[in-house]
């Protein structure tokens, strides 16, 4: 950043540049969606785009997946460090990286691209994005490996190498990717979409420097980062002070191990928000581990929910946040620990903060929710085209109730954020399945003065023989927690009804289970926890719950002790 970055710009210029930066992030986001090849990008929006300053501080983001808000800036900072403080970066370079154990890492399926933006022969910013590729190789189709014992089984590792050098593509990297993934057209198509988004960010940022002069832009960025710090400090002043604790478990396949205990101690002062996860279970030979940077991503999400900033998010907002872990723990795993299902660890860590603070700030944090990404992978041969297909998708479920409101129904977990279902019409056209049912899962879970939101049930019928199902649904052992007298929610499950009438399950984890024509997979997600004592729910509301089918008449009479 130039020496003039500490100068003050007028409030009007500052506002124009701030909004321009936000609009660049949004345009990058749209550019990626419109040029991508896989439904994970153009339907589910499982990616995020943004800009950082020359030091890797987040200044703008077009967000799809909430957790990625905590991954972009550490990824850029790692690239800067790796390339000698940025001195070995050239105009036109693009770095590709999916290393789970360094800045911005999660699991191998989340592939990041980083591009330095030069103006007047100086790095002034970085254009960056990260998205979930449908395929990165590994032992299982879709690269969502829920029985891996080391990272080497989970796919192709890209340790931060130059995909483009001074504007020229490194064809060897493209060839290595192409030969290592099962669907190279989709994976490389999404890679080029990410490149298009990076170049959109570069072009718009350079236009901003031309229009308002580089020094004004960098000075504005400096002021916005300082504003972020002030916003965070003011937010901390409104929070309850002291030490808050919570314990929970990370679930796994019961035949393998777990559940694994995790815990947090949160200390909130006037200028610090410290999250200490020491004492949590050590890393395991199962892919539910997360790296420190995966944990950081989810902690940042919950931290933002707690401080509730009213203006744009940038790196300055995270100034008070401090995260402490044991080395080599399940929440701070080190190579070669498997991390394919890392969202179980990182979301579990973030949820601990949520659980510890929800009773004290119920207007901002509701009761427990489905928590898990609830990933589903179905592969096989398409019934019409006889071509291979690969369905990879997260699942929606129930959110917890809050102060003065029932829980949301059929929403993605907090780690997925602004993502979407793959529509039924797209699923049935592209994949060898038929969607037999997609309904709310109405059970007795989440009772309270305010009730938890319903999970969902969806059923897929296999239309060809020899398909494979892999799925991991958290909250199959322990239901989402309630708050202030509210009851816990309903658990998730996976059940398979074979064409001959046999039933497998209910299960929480399914590993490469063979499906044949006519077999039906039932996928049910958790109901959110309740808020407040059930006996305090008004009779009219209970009647409406029964009428809407959220709860049966018998359960309503038993749980709420009312004459209906």
Q: How far apart are CA 78 and CA 74, in angstroms?
A: 6
What is the rounded average pLDDT of the residues 195-210?
Answer: 97
The alpha helices in 469-563, defined as continuous H runs, are: 539-548, 553-560
How far apart, in Å, are the Cα atoms of 499 and each of 130, 298, 377, 471, 557?
Answer: 40, 41, 20, 20, 37
Residues in the chain: 564
| CB atoms near residue 12 (< 10 Å) | 8
| CB atoms near residue 243 (< 10 Å) | 11
What is the rounded average pLDDT of the residues 452-463?
Answer: 96
- Ranking 248-262, 276-290, 301-315, 504-518 by mean pLDDT, the lowest is 301-315
Q: How many helices (H) and strands (E) does the chain have?
A: 11, 20
Confidence of residue 2 (pLDDT cuts 50, 70, 90): very low
Write down the pLDDT at residue 203. 97
What is the rounded average pLDDT of the residues 350-369?
Answer: 94
Say if residues 95 and 130 touch (Cβ distance below 8 Å).
Answer: no
Write down the pLDDT at residue 205. 97
- Ranking 54-58, 109-113, 361-365 by mean pLDDT, the lowest is 361-365
Cα angle for residues 143, 148, 149 (degrees, 5° grid):
145
Write down the pLDDT at residue 6. 57
Kindly state the tokens that stand for 487: 């009851």
Write down the pLDDT at residue 564. 67
Characterise 280 by phi-psi region: left (phi > 0), alpha (psi -120 to 50), beta (else): beta
| Among 65, 304, 306, 29, residue whose Cα is nearest residue 194 | 29
- Average pLDDT over the chain, rounded to an integer: 93
**Cβ partners under 8 Å of residue 280, min gap 6:** 260, 261, 262, 263, 325, 326, 329, 330, 331, 349
Confidence of residue 562 (pLDDT cuts 50, 70, 90): low
Say whether 30 sits in a helix, a strand or coil.
Answer: helix
What is the rounded average pLDDT of the residues 207-213?
Answer: 95
Quick check: 310 pLDDT over 80? Answer: no
Write down the pLDDT at residue 416. 82
What is the rounded average pLDDT of the residues 273-297?
Answer: 96
**Cβ partners under 8 Å of residue 530, min gap 6:** 367, 400, 401, 407, 446, 447, 448, 449, 450, 451, 452, 482, 483, 486, 487, 488, 489
Peptide bond into 275 cis (omega under 30): no
Kindly state the tokens that stand for 266: 């949160």
Write down the pLDDT at residue 168. 98
Phi and psi at residue 375, to the nearest 5°: -75, 145
Write down the pLDDT at residue 3. 42
The predicted-structure confidence for 475-502, as pLDDT tens digits, reads as follows 999 999 999 999 999 999 999 999 999 9
What is the rounded average pLDDT of the residues 295-303?
Answer: 94
- DSSP letters, 186-254, are HHHHHHHHHHHHHHHHHHHHHHHHHHH-HHHHHHHHHHHHHHHHHHHHHHHHHSPPEEEEEEEEE---T
Quick check: 301 pLDDT over 80? Answer: yes
153 DSSP 8-state letter:
G
The predicted-structure confidence for 90-141, as pLDDT tens digits, reads as follows 999 999 999 999 999 999 999 999 999 999 999 999 999 999 998 999 998 8
Q: What predicted TM-score, i.e. pTM, was given to this entire model?
A: 0.91
């Amino acid at each position: 950043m130039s020496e003039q970055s500490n100068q003050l710009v007028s409030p009007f210029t500052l506002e124009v540049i701030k909004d321009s930066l936000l609009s660049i992030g949004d345009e990058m986001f749209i550019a990626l969606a419109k040029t991508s090849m896989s439904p994970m990008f153009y339907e589910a929006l499982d990616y995020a785009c943004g800009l950082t300053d020359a030091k890797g501080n987040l200044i703008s983001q077009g967000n799809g997946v909430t957790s990625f808000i905590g991954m972009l800036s550490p990824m850029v900072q790692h690239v800067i460090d790796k390339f000698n403080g940025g001195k070995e970066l050239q105009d036109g370079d693009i770095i590709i990286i999916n290393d789970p154990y360094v800045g911005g890492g999660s699991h191998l399926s989340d592939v990041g691209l980083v591009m330095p933006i030069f103006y007047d022969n100086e790095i002034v910013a970085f254009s960056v994005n990260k998205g979930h590729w449908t395929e990165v190789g590994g032992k299982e189709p879709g690269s969502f490996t829920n029985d891996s014992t080391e990272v080497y089984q989970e796919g192709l590792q890209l340790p931060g190498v130059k995909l483009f050098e001074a504007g020229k593509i490194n064809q060897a990297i493209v060839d290595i990717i192409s030969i290592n993934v099962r669907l190279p057209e989709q994976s490389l198509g999404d890679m080029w979409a990410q490149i298009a988004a990076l170049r959109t960010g570069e072009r718009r940022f350079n236009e901003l420097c031309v229009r308002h002069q580089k020094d004004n832009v960098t000075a504005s960025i400096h002021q916005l980062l300082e504003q972020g710090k002030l916003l965070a400090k003011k937010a901390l002043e409104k929070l309850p002070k002291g030490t808050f604790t919570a314990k929970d478990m990370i679930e796994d396949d019961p035949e393998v191990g777990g559940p694994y205990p995790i815990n947090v101690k949160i200390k909130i002062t006037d200028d610090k928000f410290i999250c200490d996860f020491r004492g949590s279970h050590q890393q395991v030979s199962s892919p539910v581990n997360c790296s420190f940077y995966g944990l950081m991503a989810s902690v940042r999400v919950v931290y933002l929910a707690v401080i509730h900033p009213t203006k744009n998010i940038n790196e300055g907002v995270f100034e008070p946040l401090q995260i402490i872990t044991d080395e080599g723990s399940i929440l701070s795993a080190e190579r070669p620990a498997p991390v394919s299902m890392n969202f179980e660890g990182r979301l579990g860590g973030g949820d601990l903060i949520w659980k510890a603070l929800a009773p004290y700030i119920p207007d901002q944090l509701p009761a427990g929710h489905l928590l898990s990404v609830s990933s589903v992978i179905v592969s096989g041969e398409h019934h019409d085209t006889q071509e291979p297909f690969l369905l990879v998708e997260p699942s929606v479920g129930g959110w917890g109730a809050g102060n003065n409101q029932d829980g949301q129904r059929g929403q993605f977990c907090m780690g997925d954020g602004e993502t979407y279902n793959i529509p039924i019409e797209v699923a049935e056209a592209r994949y060898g399945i038929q969607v037999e049912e997609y309904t709310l899962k109405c059970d007795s879970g989440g009772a309270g003065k305010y009730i938890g939101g319903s999970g969902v049930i969806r059923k897929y019928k296999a239309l060809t023989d020899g398909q494979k199902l892999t799925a991991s649904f958290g909250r199959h052992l322990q239901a989402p927690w309630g708050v202030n007298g509210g009851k816990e929610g309903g658990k998730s499950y996976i059940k398979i009804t074979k064409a001959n009438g046999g039933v497998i399950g209910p299960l929480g984890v399914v590993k490469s289970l063979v499906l044949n024509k006519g077999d039906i997979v039932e996928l049910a997600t958790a109901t959110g926890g309740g808020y407040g004592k059930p006996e305090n729910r008004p009779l009219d509301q209970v009647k409406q719950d029964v009428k809407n089918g959220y709860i049966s008449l018998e359960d309503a009479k038993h749980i709420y002790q009312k004459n209906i």
